[in-house]
Amino acid sequence: MKFTASTLAAAGGMIASANAHGFITSPQARMPGDAMQSACGMQVYYNQMGDNYGNVQGELQVASSQDDYKADPCNIWMCKGFKFEDNKDNVQSYTPGQNVDFTVDIRAPHTGYANVSIVKTSSN
């Protein structure tokens, strides 16, 4: 099985939706870019550029009043809408069974759950 930074970036995007408001800082996680801006709208894009620790629920509140938010292409529950197209330079390869250390920065610690997902970068 091949794991890439983009795969891990998916985890980073999902961790940010956890109640503790954290973000994977190593390996490099997905970040907002032009493809995300086009799909999710300017305000969601600017919110994530300014504070990528914000949660998905907050972004959905912002998105609900945007004319340029496109729910299906944004796919905000997948990596908070951060797109592979914006993060192709983050791809890393790992060998089967290799341990990969994560560094997570938690900015608003409190109780809750984190969700880490691994995605198939050939399709997302």
Q: Indicate the Cα dihedral angle 28, 30, 32, 34, nearest 10°.
A: 110
pLDDT given for residue 116 in this prediction: 67
Q: What is the pTM of this model?
A: 0.74
Angle at 31 between CA 52 and CA 103, to 5 degrees: 75
Q: Tell me if residue 44 falls in helix, strand or coil.
A: helix
Give dist(CA 47, CA 63) in Å, integer: 10
The tens-digit pLDDT sequence of the chain (124 residues) is 444 544 444 444 444 433 457 888 888 888 999 999 999 999 999 999 998 888 888 899 999 999 999 999 999 998 899 999 999 988 888 888 999 898 888 888 778 776 666 777 777 7
pLDDT given for residue 104 in this prediction: 86
